[in-house]
Amino acid sequence: MKYLFSLLFSILTSSAIAQTDSFYLLKPTRVFDGERLHDNWVVLVRGNKIIEAGTMTFKLPSNTRIIELKGATLLPGLIEGHSHLYLHPYNETSWNDQVLKESRAERTARAVKHAEATLMAGFTTIRELGTEGAAYDDAGLKIAIEKGVISGPRMIVATKAIVAKGSYGVKSDNPDVEFPKGAAEVANREEMEREVRSQISKGAEVIKIYADYRWNLQGEAAPTFSADELAAAVAIAESGGRYVAVHSATAEGMLRSIKAGVHTIEHGDLGTEEIFKAMKENNIAYCPTLAASDAIAQYNGWKKGTEPEPQRILNKRKSFSAALRSGVTILMGGDVGVFPHGDNAREMEMMVDYGMPPIDVLKSATSVNADVFGWGDRIGRIRKGLLADLIVVRGDPSANIHDIRKTILIMKDGTFYMEPKR
């Protein structure tokens, strides 16, 4: 019996070593390293790390598997900058009905499928900006992915978003009826500080705040927090090594957020060149979420391609053009969940359509997002020593951004989730 145990232990140990010691050499036609495009580069992977990246000037280990990828482009795993795995498209089920009528069990089941679809689209990391009524379940989903219980992207989670009392969520004409709000409500600075600390204790890695929302008497967007209240949240988040991302569509909401020292501003529908320049001066990044606005306009009846663009889309084009001129750091994040998970590349295609060069869009979806989210020393680039988050697509997305959808290889943390047929 003792001999059999020793033999079994030896077999298992040998198998583990063999897996750890296996090398993969990826030989594409071109490599986008997160910043620049290179011809005649190769990438060598061992375990979950990039061992070599560049021209073939090193000796291959004897147990290297060579993967030929002619005509293809190798890139860092893509990073989705604004995701909601606990939402699904509003033309399937309205936001209100998702919050009120779908159980958290159902929403988590959907989130598992959404995570799988995201990874299989080549997005190996996401910034998950709020569960919209599913409490702290994104923190649990993140752990399940890390443990290998399910397949999905690496997650940077926000848990609940923070909103001003009375501004957000399902409302009733009957003041005696209280509906779930889909976010954490606060009414003053003290409650803001308490909520930020609470969310950190529940696993939040980024604090998401609605700096404005559609709550004025006309149902239009208006600021919800003072700069002082936002600054209080920023101070606590930063003391814990975290940062604040704000939803803001109005110019005043963006200005208050800049004054407060937030880290990123999402949407920015009415941002001007002057505001974006102020963001640049204060090292605040901009996540435009073009695809969400496009999707909502179509859900509201706009027939894209046959009808003139509605004012909401014209505003987005104008603000995005102003952002490009200003030189502000632009993130890639589509607010996916408003539109289908797995269709994340839609935002990248729209960024090009709205005037951003494809190579800059690729940077936004890799190295720029990684740096802004505090992960630049681990992912977002193809560089020796970084994690082996890699994708390969047919064609050249730096010339034709639509090629980013033609995925033939996906590797996250050194594990293959898709690879070419031998």
User: Could you tell me the residue ranges of all domains in the chain?
Assistant: 21-76+381-418, 78-372
pLDDT recorded at residue 21: 65
pLDDT digits (tens, 9 = 90+) for 112-121: 999 999 999 9
Q: pLDDT above 70 covers what percent of the chain?
A: 95
pLDDT digits (tens, 9 = 90+) for 8-49: 334 333 333 334 568 999 999 999 999 999 999 999 999 999
Residue 52 has pLDDT above 70, yes or no: yes
Are the C-beta atoms of residues 139 and 203 closer than 8 Å to each other? yes
pLDDT digits (tens, 9 = 90+) for 234-269: 999 999 999 999 999 999 999 999 999 999 999 999
Residue 414 has pLDDT above 70, yes or no: yes
Are the C-beta atoms of residues 256 and 226 closer than 8 Å to each other? yes
CATH architecture label of 78-372: Alpha-Beta Barrel (3.20)
Are the C-beta atoms of residues 122 and 93 closer than 8 Å to each other? no
Helix (H, G, I), strand (E, B) or coil at 344: coil
Rounded to two decimals, what is the model's pTM?
0.94
C-alpha 37/C-alpha 363 separation (Å) is 11
Task: Say which CATH topology domain 21-76+381-418 has.
Answer: Urease, subunit C; domain 1 (2.30.40)
Q: What is the mean pLDDT of residues 184-207?
A: 98
Alpha helices (runs of H) in 327-392, residue ranges in sequence order: 345-353, 358-363, 369-372
The pLDDT confidence band at residue 323, using thresholds 50, 70 and 90, is very high
pLDDT digits (tens, 9 = 90+) for 118-160: 999 999 999 999 999 999 999 999 999 999 999 999 999 999 9
Provide the sign of the torsion angle of the four alpha carbons 323, 326, 331, 332, taken in this order: positive
